[in-house]
């Protein structure tokens, strides 16, 4: 098609040369107009051949468009990869948070179980220690019973073999690691009354330091509710009776209140002493 257009252009130029050389006078305006029209018709009806410049420009535009499209595609892929990475990291972070909370909960549970086990072990050790003490106490009681000792609750009792003054009886008890009996309850007084009956025996009660202020040998005061004096006692006969006995012979063994006061160190007034020792 390009060669055809070139041929027509050449023919038109040849005709113009012929007319010019033959001296034929023509209307330049009309001729030029016709030629122009012919050129226009040719360009209108035929395709104009592409030049190297046009082709290069089009190739440059096409190449640039490809680069832009490629860059856009790469950028889109990077965005997708970045979004995917962020999503994966977020999921892993949530999973790690859940695992951490589960581990913390497990740790707390194990700590509670450990403390409970430790508490149980401590309780068991305490119980075993208590059982061991009870065992030792029972063994001591059995041994004391075999020796003829008298036992009441957490104490055991025995009497001196000889009648002595209150001070000498107390000394004898202390040499054996005991003390003259301290009566703390009605039950203990009833127990002593049943065991020793009407036998008068020294107990650890005296007002030798202050008349009328009766105290036990451990320094504790005599409570009003735990006084077991026989009727009319203590009377401090002749102003010299500062030590107490239980089992006063006048009272009788059937009575609980059998205390009476006697001189502590009179040479002719001597009784056995009731010694008491705690386990």
Question: In this structure, what DSSP letter does residue 194 have?
Answer: H
**pTM surpassing 0.75?**
no
DSSP 92-156: HHHHHHHHHHHHHHHHHHHHHHHHHHHHHHHHHHHHHHHHHHHHHHHHHHHHHHHTT-EEETTEE
Residue 218 to residue 50: CA distance in whole angstroms:
136
Q: How far apart are the first and last CA of the chain?
A: 137
Q: Residue 182: what pLDDT?
A: 94
Tens digit of pLDDT at every position of the chain (279 positions): 545 556 655 666 565 555 554 444 344 444 444 444 444 444 444 444 555 545 565 566 666 678 788 888 888 889 999 999 899 999 998 999 898 988 988 888 898 989 889 888 889 889 888 888 878 877 777 776 666 677 788 788 888 778 999 999 999 999 988 999 999 899 999 998 888 877 899 999 999 999 989 999 999 999 888 889 999 999 988 888 999 999 888 877 678 889 999 999 888 889 999 999 887
Q: Residue 275: what pLDDT?
A: 92
Residue 189 to residue 276: CA distance in whole angstroms:
13
164 bridge partner residues: 271
8 A C-beta contact, residue 185 and residue 226:
yes
Q: Which two tokens stand for residue 96?
A: 């790690």
Q: Residue 45: what pLDDT?
A: 47
List the domain boundaries for the chain.
2-49, 150-278
Residue listed under structure tokens 């179980």: 113
Residue 206 to residue 264: CA distance in whole angstroms:
9
Q: What is the CATH number of domain 150-278?
A: 3.10.100.10
Across 68-94, b (16+ Cβ under 10 Å) vs e yields eeeeeeeeeeeeeeeeeeeeeeeeeee
């Amino acid at each position: 098609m390009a060669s055809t257009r070139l041929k027509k252009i050449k023919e038109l130029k040849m005709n113009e040369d012929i007319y010019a050389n033959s001296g034929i006078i023509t209307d330049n305006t009309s001729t030029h107009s016709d030629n122009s029209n012919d050129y226009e018709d040719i360009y209108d009806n035929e395709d104009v051949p592409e030049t190297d410049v046009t082709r290069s420009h089009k190739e440059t535009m096409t190449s640039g468009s490809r680069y832009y499209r490629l860059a856009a595609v790469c950028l889109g892929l990077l965005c997708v990869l970045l979004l995917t990475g962020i999503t994966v990291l977020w999921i892993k972070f949530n999973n790690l948070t859940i695992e951490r909370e589960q581990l913390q909960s497990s740790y707390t549970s194990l700590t509670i179980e450990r403390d409970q086990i430790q508490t149980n072990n401590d309780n068991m050790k305490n119980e075993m220690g208590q059982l061991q003490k009870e065992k030792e106490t029972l063994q001591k009681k059995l041994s004391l019973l075999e020796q003829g000792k008298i036992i009441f609750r957490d104490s055991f009792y025995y009497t001196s073999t000889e009648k002595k003054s209150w001070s000498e009886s107390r000394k004898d008890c202390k040499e054996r690691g005991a003390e003259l009996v301290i009566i703390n309850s009605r039950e203990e007084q009833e127990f002593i009354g049943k065991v020793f009956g009407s036998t008068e025996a020294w107990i650890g009660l005296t007002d030798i330091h202050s008349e009328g202020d009766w105290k036990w040998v451990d320094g504790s005061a005599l409570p009003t509710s735990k006084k077991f004096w026989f009727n009319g006692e203590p009377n401090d006969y002749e102003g010299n009776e500062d030590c107490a006995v239980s089992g006063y012979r006048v009272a009788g063994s059937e009575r609980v209140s059998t205390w009476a006061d006697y001189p502590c160190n009179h040479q002719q007034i001597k009784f056995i002493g009731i010694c008491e020792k705690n386990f």
